Amino acid sequence: MDLLLQATFNGIVLGGVFGLVALGLNLIYGVLNVINFAHGASMMIAMYGTYWLFTLYGVDPYLSLALVMPAMFIVGYGIQRLLLEPLAGTSPSNQFLTTLGLLLVFQNGTQLLFTSNFLTINTVYQTITLPLGPALLPLARVIALGFAILLGFLLFLLMTRTDLGRAIRAAAQDPGGAEVAGINVNRIYGVTFGLGLAMVGAAGAIVVPFFYVTPSVGETFNIPAFIVVVLGGLGSMPGAVVGGLVVGLVTSIGAAFLPGSTNQILLLGVFIGVLLLRPTGLFGRRLV
Amino acid sequence: MASRIPVWLVGYLLLLGVAIAYPLVFTTAYQVNLGIVILFAAYQGSAWNILGGFTGLFSFGHAAFFGLGAYTSTLLFIHAGISPWIGMFAGGVVAAAVGISFGYLTVRYRLRGHYFALGMFAFAELLRFSAQNLDAIGGSVGILIPFKGNAPEIFQFTDKLPYYFVILGMLVVILAVSRWLKDGRLGYFWASLRSDDTAAEMVGVNTLRYKLTAMGLSAFFMALAGTFYAQFYFFIEPQIVFGIDKSLDGLLRAVIGGLNMVLGPLFGALLLAPLGELTKILLPIRNASGVDLLLFGILLILAVRFMPRGVLGTLELISGRIVRWRRAA
């Protein structure tokens, strides 16, 4: 019972992080119709940023969100405006080939700079655990879950309650109409990609206190994020949250009770099934 | 009658002559090995190109077929003593059957563009995790192939030179088959579904059949590469043979060399392999293992943007312009 409770809690935390990663991926897909294969690798870049800010300057990992998120926003904005925008109108495969190229550049570039050693930081957060019945909840994970929920909620508010959000949704639904209405669609596209990377950057920063950093760590989050997005429905934001929880719980509880990495086989099987049978996801239509 | 020999055939024979002469001129182990690396990459690219280039279905998961080939021939050899020469074709048939089955599902449920790429990627990952969890086939530790000395009948050589000619022979076969199919009836159907498969279907092209033909052939040839890999390195494990790197090897050569062109992947390999070697020579540091991929990633981004026809396509374009300019002059 303790094990189940512990695994469930870890699953919810993982689900929150996966959901946050997937929200960014989904936003980019929903508006730009591009699958960002470099999404996990972007998270890894943010994790290195957080790691070095802490190691060199002693910046608290949660405080570093204030630096990492804007930095990742700029990276995302630049990727869209400089690399993807010029490809508009050419073969659609060109855009996802470009994000694939970025994945190779990010992953192998960091490996060249920082080697493939596993890096971890020691903060005061790791030493604190909160008791919940028979289980112990590490404070760092509780905080991560809190940030994931908060940031997801803020993104939701941004998309539904602000002019920027309305402009993004307009550009997603009808770029031509949005342009006529005076929206600079290319700039909105850049902002969207920027927001997507800021989200995944935040996810990177909040896991550093309890997760190792290495160039290939993005894969750990990339594949689940794809699964979350496809489960929840490409382009659907509430779907990303529910999908995130499902994937997080299956990963965590499966890791505790199933042999080896059987849980991954299960998830990939479900993923392919959903991709084939219901590419709009289990939760229906596009909502962005 | 001599004029009946097409120009392209002369070009192919010239290339073949150069390829045969290469290891006889450059005889050190390093040089022969470099030749094998180039030919092997060209072969992988050509196998990927049959599906990705000729029909436009971009696969991010061809490692699935590479791994199936490597595991089938290796398991048959270790457990049943069957020569990898035979196991190679068994692997090819297994991969083709799996490819056609999975391909059927993707066509039936209309997976296209990045959905298809993602589906193939997930499929390769599924096989990787499955192989890692099956202890009966070595699990995540992998399989060490027992070395029996120089034994050509079981695809084992102590010298590198025989491997060079084996992979050269495989490349000649795949290029000849590619040329033959692309110029034939099948090639026209592929071209029709490549440009617009909905329109092709509406005018009565059996798109399912032609997509699956490409999928089966592409999977079959990729599986043979897997067996070659196993017999060359005498070691396979899921992370390597089912890993994302093996999926990207073929894609990178084909896209950078020239999609939908028979010789495109060969030119891609001729460009990328020496570049990869150069980075290892120029950056003699411990972490240089990924530098070639870093460079290839940059090249991929640049090629997509500035040379969508790839290296070979761009060369053709330039030479075509020179010819026209000369005629006009």
Judged by CB atoms closer than 8 Å, whether chains meet at A97 and B290 is answered as no
In a domain, B94, yes or no: yes
At residue A184, what are phi and psi to the nearest 5 degrees?
A: -80, 95
In a domain, B261, yes or no: no
Distance CA B301, CA B307 (A): 10
In a domain, B268, yes or no: no
The letter for the amino acid at A109 is G
Token pair for B183: 């110029």
How many of the other CB atoms lie within 10 Å of CB of B90? Answer: 18
H or E segment to which residue B143 belongs: strand B143-144
For chain A, list residues with pLDDT below 70: 1, 234-235, 279-288
H or E segment to which residue B144 belongs: strand B143-144
CB of A266 within 8 Å of a chain B CB? The answer is no
The letter for the amino acid at B190 is W
In a domain, B208, yes or no: yes
Helix locations, chain B, DSSP H: 7-25, 29-52, 63-80, 84-108, 113-133, 161-183, 185-202, 207-233, 238-241, 244-257, 264-282, 291-306, 310-328
> Predicted ipTM?
0.89
In chain A, how many domains are there?
A: 1
How many of the other CB atoms lie within 10 Å of CB of A56? Answer: 8
In a domain, A176, yes or no: yes
What tens-digit pLDDT sequence spans chain B (329 residues)? 455 777 778 888 999 999 999 999 998 988 999 999 999 999 999 999 999 999 989 999 999 999 999 999 999 999 999 999 999 999 999 999 999 999 999 988 888 788 898 899 999 999 999 999 998 898 889 999 988 888 888 999 989 999 999 999 999 999 999 999 999 999 998 988 888 888 888 888 888 899 999 999 999 999 999 999 999 999 999 999 999 889 999 999 999 999 889 999 999 999 998 888 888 777 766 656 788 889 999 999 999 999 888 888 888 888 888 888 877 76
How do strand B143-144 and strand B235-236 relate by DSSP bridges?
Answer: antiparallel
DSSP notation for chain A: -HHHHHHHHHHHHHHHHHHHHHHHHHHHHHHH----TTHHHHHHHHHHHHHHHHHHH---TTTTHHHHHHHHHHHHHHIIIIIIGGGTTS-THHHHHHHHHHHHHHHHHHHHHH-S--B----GGGG-EEEETTEEEEHHHHHHHHHHHHHHHHHHHHHHHSHHHHHHHHHHH-HHHHHHTT--HHHHHHHHHHHHHHHHHHHHHHHGGGS-B-TTHHHHHHHHHHHHHHHH-TT-HHHHHHHHHHHHHHHHHHHHHSSTTHHHHHHHHHHHHHHHH-TT-TT-S---
**Domain containing residue B51: CATH number:** 1.10.3470
- The pLDDT value recorded for residue A288 is 43
In a domain, B79, yes or no: yes
Q: Which A residues in the span 58-77 are in contact with B, Cβ-Cβ below 8 Å?
A: none
In a domain, A199, yes or no: yes
**Domain containing residue A164: CATH number:** 1.10.3470
Chain B residues at the A interface, defined by Cβ less than 8 Å, are 56, 58, 60, 105-106, 108-109, 111, 113-115, 117-119, 122-123, 125-126, 129-130, 132-133, 139, 244, 248, 255, 286-291, 293-294, 296-301, 304-305, 308
In a domain, A273, yes or no: yes
Strand partners, B235: B144
Q: Which residue in B29, B106, B15 sits closest to B64, CA to CA?
A: B106
**Contacts across the A-B interface (CB distance below 8 Å):** 122
A93 CB neighbours in chain B (<8 A) are 56, 58, 113-114, 117
User: pTM here?
Assistant: 0.91
In a domain, A213, yes or no: yes
In a domain, B266, yes or no: no
Q: Which domain holds residue B161?
A: 2-252
In a domain, B282, yes or no: no
Q: Which residue in B77, B94, B97 sits closest to B86, CA to CA?
A: B77
CB of A184 within 8 Å of a chain B CB? The answer is no
In a domain, A122, yes or no: no
In chain B, how many domains are there?
A: 1
